Amino acid sequence: MLRPPETFATARLTARRPRAEDAPTVFAAYANDPDVTRYLSWAPYTRVELLADFLRDRAADWERPTSQHYAWLLCLRGTDSPIGSIGLMPDGGKVMCGYVLAKKFWGRGMMTEALTAVVEWTIAQTDVYRVWAYCDAANLASVRVMEKSGLTRETLLRRWHVSPNIGAEPRDCIFCAKVK
Ligand SMILES: CC(C)(COP(=O)(O)OP(=O)(O)OC[C@H]1O[C@@H](n2cnc3c(N)ncnc32)[C@H](O)[C@@H]1OP(=O)(O)O)[C@@H](O)C(=O)NCCC(=O)NCCS
């Protein structure tokens, strides 16, 4: 049974459980930004209340003995103000990662830092054999983050994922993984 730590730190970031009260900060930092959500499966939030509900659900995941979704909010070290999020979705010996960062902080290696830490912790766990992630084939920054974080590009699956912010048709996606 995978039980990730509730907090972890990297050189520049701390990661902690979400709280419903984070909603206004998360909303302003990235969750209502169409550039951030462009390739994601969710449209930008237009109401803080709905985001608070989502964060409340993610907080509740941590209360269960075992969960299918563990999400952290990422804050710059020395602050408690979220600038992004990273999460794990365990499925037996396979664990999927997802991540998002406020636009203001793109291009500084921040998500590589966070994803590297998460990948290294996860693949080191007993009974985890595959840590993986995927993204829209056009999301080249995300492909690069996966590769820089220790995942190896495996394949491109055509017509895999609908990005509602782009259109209703499923789009091609690139899959990367670290296995042992
Ligand atoms: C994808 C995302 C997480 C990247 O975070 P980040 O902290 O900016 O990433 P890093 O700085 O660690 O690395 C980005 C890499 O992508 C490269 N890159 C950025 N834009 C690029 C582009 N258009 N084409 C090719 N490479 C690009 C950067 O040069 C860098 O690689 P390098 O270190 O070799 O130069 C961030 O842009 C984001 O949150 N996007 C919106 C949400 C999202 O798409 N999440 C992923 C869903 S699968």
Q: Is the CB of 102 under 6 A from ligand 1?
A: no
Asked whether 72 and 17 are in contact (CB, 8 A), the reply is: yes
Euclidean distance between CA atoms 120 and 13, whole angstroms: 16
141 lines ligand 1 (CB under 6 A): yes
Average pLDDT over residues 107-127: 98
With bands split at pLDDT 50, 70 and 90, how would you rate the model's confidence at 106?
Answer: very high
Strand order in the sheet with 82-91: 8-9, 13-16, 70-76, 82-91, 94-101, 130-136, 170-179, 152-162
- Ligand 1 centroid, distance to 138 Cα (angstroms): 11
Ligand 1 center to residue 106 CA distance, Å? 7
C-alpha of residue 111 to centroid of ligand 1, in Å: 8
Q: In the predicted model, what is the mean pLDDT of residues 14-22?
A: 98
For residue 100, the CA-to-ligand 1 centroid distance in Å is: 10
pLDDT in tens, 132-175: 999 999 999 999 999 999 999 999 999 999 999 999 999 999 99
Return d(Cα 47, Cα 57) in angstroms, integer.
16
pLDDT of residue 67: 95
Q: Residue 47: phi, psi to the nearest 5?
A: -130, 125
Mean pLDDT of the chain: 97
- 11-33 average pLDDT score: 98
10-20: buried (b, 16+ CB within 10 Å) or exposed (e) per residue? bebbbbbbbbb
Q: How far is the CA of 177 from the centre of ligand 1 (A)?
A: 17
Nearest-atom index, ligand 1, CA of 36: 41
Q: 77 CB less than 6 Å from ligand 1?
A: no
Q: What is the pLDDT of residue 1?
A: 84
Q: Is the CB of 112 under 6 A from ligand 1?
A: yes
- Looking at residue 62, what is its pLDDT? 97
- Model confidence over 52-95: pLDDT tens digits? 999 999 999 999 999 999 999 999 999 999 999 999 999 999 99
Q: What is the pLDDT of residues 31-47, one digit of tens each?
A: 999 999 999 999 999 99
Residue 175, beta-bridge partner list: 134, 155
| Ligand 1 atom closest to the CA of 145, numbered from 1 | 13
Mean pLDDT of 96-112: 98
Q: Where are the alpha helices (DSSP H) in 30-103?
A: 34-37, 48-61
Q: Which atom of ligand 1 is nearest to the CA of 115?
A: 12
CB 156 within 8 A of CB 175: yes
Ligand 1 touching residue 174 (CB < 6 A): no
Sequence length of the chain is 180
Domains, the chain, ordered by start: 8-179 (3.40.630.30)
CA angle 94, 110, 76 (to 5 degrees): 110
* 20: phi then psi, degrees, rounded to nearest 5: -55, -30
Instruction: Tell me the two tokens of residue 162.
Output: 């609908």
Tokens 């902690």 correspond to what residue?
A: 16
Full-prediction pTM beyond 0.95? yes
